[in-house]
Structure 1
Amino acid sequence: MATPSYAGAESHHHPDSDIETGETAVWPLVECLGGSVGAGIIFLLSLPVLADVMSPLGALSPTGLLVVFLFAWLFLWLLIAVTRERVTG
């Protein structure tokens, strides 16, 4: 079954001139960097305790440490983003 080339063309029209988001790409980058710096500091300060906790995992302990770091980074990133959104409105 052949579909005409003009089918649905009207539904894909996006006027770019009326879009006002007010959001720039700088804020997500700042939030990401802030979360990574915060997670890095917390991770380095608690590394001896985390290494003792992860030692029963044997060969998987570096993976466990990486997972803890990634969750801390994502949590802090989300916390910074939500805080900024609440403060700026």
Structure 2
Amino acid sequence: MKETGVRVLKILGRDYSVRASASEEAVLQQAAALLQQRVNENQQRFPAAGSQELLVLTALNLCVPLLEQGEQLRAVQERLAASVELISRQLRV
């Protein structure tokens, strides 16, 4: 059974309490560190942006690669399914 507790993540100088299991803590810390790193990069690119704007810009910048990876995964799955079908047809002959 997973032990669930409150984990504290610091982003933009603010603490966020997140309920998560001990096994999820390392990934949450990595995610918070990545988010903070990207926020810092956007702070330098957009010095006049406020915290909320920085978080939105950063979230959008992080979502684009996720969507691209999802599309690449679907394309690979389609190619794999086609290859499996081709191999199956050749084995039946």
TM interval, shorter chain, is 0.3 to 0.5
Higher-strand-fraction structure:
2
Q: Which structure has the larger Rg?
A: 1
- Scaled by the length of structure 2, what TM-score is found? 0.38
